[in-house]
Chains A and B, each alone.
Chain A
Amino acid sequence: MTDTGAYDVNLAYSMSGLGFGVSYGSDSEDAAVSVTGTAGTVGFGLGYTSIEGGSDFTELTLATSMGGVDFDFAFVDENAAVAANDLTGFGLSASYTMGSMTYIVAMSDTSTTNQDPNFGIGFPNNLGGGLTFAGGVTSVGATTPNGDATTQADLGFNMAF
């Protein structure tokens, strides 16, 4: 989830394969907690964020691998300050690496009225030494009744130093 809220203190603690985290804003009074870990072959994360005077978010993420394919799932439930603005969203992605190339497909959707899902496909090609050539195309779902989806795409380099 995007960096929602304003924080200036973070506590992280790991024990017996579990990770616990707390973020708190001493002035904003925003707060977020999380627990992460692994159950068998499934990695999980559970988080809760409370924005002072605003929305609360509950988040669940799962990750696993089957047959060389990595799968990720995310679910977010927003309990808004105004009930009519409550929202849920979810997403799925799958990636498969063959040599230096990874192929990725992803989709996400929300409960927003008239919002169609987003679908994307892309690749990062690891060129070694911290250089990656990557690109992707996403069809961003229409937000109006009978509206058209729009296309977003990019193609470029990522460098890690």
Chain B
Amino acid sequence: MFFSSHSLCCSSRCNWRRNASADIALTGGAAAGLRYVEDGGANTNLNDTVVDVEIDFNIVASGVSDSGIAFGASVDLDAAQNDQLQAVGGGSNDPEVYISTNGLTVTFGGVGNQNLEGIADVGYQGTGADDNTQ
């Protein structure tokens, strides 16, 4: 889903110069299903099987300067519920701002470490087949 930057920056308090070439995208994912952990390890209630829901939405803004420098910012909106208990839902997180040119990208904010692509896990949320490499 894309919005024009004009539609999200229209009050008199907005000090940013509007950029007609910038885009703001709303992306993300969701997961829902049943999770089972033998011997009551699925959650703190010691249930074996629980209903699990997770939602991760991302607001991603990007633009390009007149000289070709790409720039952007993103923030996540995450929430989850596990066995009727909301585990996450504190609002926005992982703020990131980046500048990119000539193959070099510098990102500031909630960046992670150098996550290399590991082995595959199995299951819609992962069941721990790869845990010993984490």
One of B111, B121, B126 near A8 (C-beta < 8 A): B111
CB of A122 to closest CB in B, whole Å: 3
Contact B129 A136 (CB under 8 A): yes
* Interface residue tally on B, bucketed by range: 35 or more
The number of residues on chain A lying at the interface, defined by a beta carbon within 8 Å of a beta carbon of chain B, is 77
Please name all residues of chain A whose beta carbon is closer than 8 Å to the beta carbon of B120 when the two chains form the complex.
Answer: 72, 93, 95, 104, 106
One of B28, B38, B117, B122 near A45 (C-beta < 8 A): B117
Query: How many angstroms between the C-alpha atoms of A160 and B50 in the bound complex?
Result: 23
Give A95-116 interface residues, CB cut-off 8 Å to B: 95, 104-110, 115
For the complex, is B128 an interface residue (Cβ under 8 Å from A)?
yes
Query: How many angstroms between the C-alpha atoms of A151 and B37 in the bound complex?
Result: 6
One of A74, A137, A152, A161 near B118 (C-beta < 8 A): A74
CB of B42 to closest CB in A, whole Å: 9
- The A-B contact count (CB < 8 A) is 225
Cβ-closest chain A residue relative to B98:
A10
For the complex, is A80 an interface residue (Cβ under 8 Å from B)?
no
CB of A34 to closest CB in B, whole Å: 3
For the complex, is B104 an interface residue (Cβ under 8 Å from A)?
yes
Which interface residue of A92, A137, A152, A155 has the most chain B CB atoms within 10 A?
A: A152
Whether A138 contacts B29 in the complex (CB less than 8 A), given A1-B134, A34-B114, comes out as no
For the complex, is B115 an interface residue (Cβ under 8 Å from A)?
yes
